[in-house]
Amino acid sequence: MGIRIAGIGRYVPEKVLTNHDLEQMVETSDQWIRERTGIVERHIAAPNESTSDLAYKAALDALNRAGISPEELDMVFVASASPDMLFPATGCLVQAKLGAKNAGCFDVEAACPGFVYGLELARGFLSLPHYKKVLVIGAETLSRITDWTDRNTCVLFGDGAGAAVLIKDDSNRGIIASYLKGNGKLGDLLYLPAGCAKMPASHETVDQRLHFIKMKGREVFKHAVVEMQTSALKALERAGLKPEDVDWLVPHQANIRIIEATYERLGLPREKVYINIDRYGNTSSASIPIALAEMDEKGLLKPGQIVVTVSFGAGFIYGANVIRW
Ligand code: COA
């Protein structure tokens, strides 16, 4: 039995924010951002758009490409670090927008690796008898939780969504193996302090800008480089494969230097790595499905190819999937 991606789609908001725009907002330069991160521009949601809207549009794209109607779905879930609200889950808001009336719905909070975790979760559901079609979405409106006065973080993030419809069939295609791991002791490297049970919203939390992303960038960088390599290798080992068997590496798009270090450590050539960080920045859980959808649109993904997705993020968590496309 294969558990495979039958359709993959994406949506990014229209508005583009360039590095030159950011030069007008904080003390930074286009050159610094390009050289230190690889980012040139990112998309930003319109005031009337939020995560569920982006997720809905990416989901429609994925469903169209799969030739599957919303009513056929058994489960819908959204991986997001920037959901519309704490509850109801953004997955439920999207289920309603789609009219996926036969599906269960919920959210996964697994930060940037949310889609990698989501694919493995979908594989779990589809291994059970009663689930046949599952929609996994990675969607973010990070612009709403970004501190636009903090140059250490505001140059990095962007908004967007990607979605995949997974089905089971009797082909040998699909997710062959995954590796998911975490180190919760490193939670303070990247977090959003206020607005929930530990520190409810108050005038003080607003005044102290505690409703925005806080990050120790250099520390995140160091762990990311090591864990991206380890995760990809562990997932490949579980699949009985080696780096030389990989046709495409699709890494989380957080920083071009992390991506370069990852493929060099794995011994992969640049041509086997899909990179679009220049146009989107870090869209967290959406970065991998947006990349896969773009690759699919360009006809880069051929049946039978080995595709490895790998990600890291707040938690600290990391993971990889090995997919026979
Ligand atoms: N423009 C100009 N200068 C900036 C800047 C900006 N946008 N952001 C930081 N700087 C400055 C710093 O203040 C520092 O100045 P100082 O030496 O006078 O103190 C200098 O640049 C170097 O800062 P540093 O943090 O060492 O830079 P870096 O090379 O580590 O790059 C990041 C910073 C954030 C780009 C990099 O650490 C990174 O990408 N980390 C991973 C973050 C990530 O992936 N997060 C998401 C995880 S899913």
Chain segment 63-89, per-residue pLDDT in tens: 999 999 999 999 999 999 999 999 999
Please give the helix or strand (H or E) that residue 94 lies within, else none: helix 90-98
Query: Of 170, 196, 220, which one is at a domain's C-terminal end?
Result: 170
Q: Are residues 149 and 7 in the same domain?
A: yes
Amino acid at 29: S
Give mean pLDDT, residues 240-261.
98
Active-site residue, from 112, 154, 255, 321: 112
Confidence (pLDDT) at 1: 83
Please give the helix or strand (H or E) that residue 56 lies within, else none: helix 51-66
Q: CATH no. for residue 140?
A: 3.40.47.10
Q: Are residues 311 and 162 in the same domain?
A: no
Cα(217) to ligand 1 centroid in Å equals 6
Over residues 84-136, the pLDDT tens digits come to: 999 999 999 999 999 999 999 999 999 999 999 999 999 999 999 999 999 99
CA–CA separation, 53 vs 284, rounded Å?
17
Give mean pLDDT, residues 226-242.
98
- Nearest alpha carbon, ligand 1 atom 48: 313
CA–CA separation, 219 vs 305, rounded Å?
34
DSSP 171: S
- Nearest alpha carbon, ligand 1 atom 34: 217
Confidence (pLDDT) at 107: 98
Query: Of 151, 170, 189, which one is at a domain's C-terminal end?
Result: 170
Q: Are residues 193 and 104 in the same domain?
A: no
Amino acid at 100: A
pLDDT confidence tier of residue 62, bands split at 50, 70 and 90: very high
Q: How far is CA 199 from CA 39, 86, 202, 206, 215, in A?
A: 33, 14, 8, 11, 18
Confidence (pLDDT) at 7: 98
What would you report as the CA-atom Rg of the chain, rounded to the nearest whole angstrom?
Answer: 19
CA–CA separation, 122 vs 141, rounded Å?
23
Q: Which domain holds residue 246?
A: 176-324
Over residues 146-158, the pLDDT tens digits come to: 999 999 999 999 9
- For the chain, the domain total comes to 2
DSSP 215: E
Q: Are residues 201 and 146 in the same domain?
A: no
- The pTM assigned to this predicted structure is 0.98
Is 105 in the active site? no
Nearby residues of 247 by Cβ (< 8 Å), 6 or more positions away: 272, 302, 305, 306, 307, 325
- What DSSP string runs through 193-212? -SSSSSS---HHHHHTTTTS
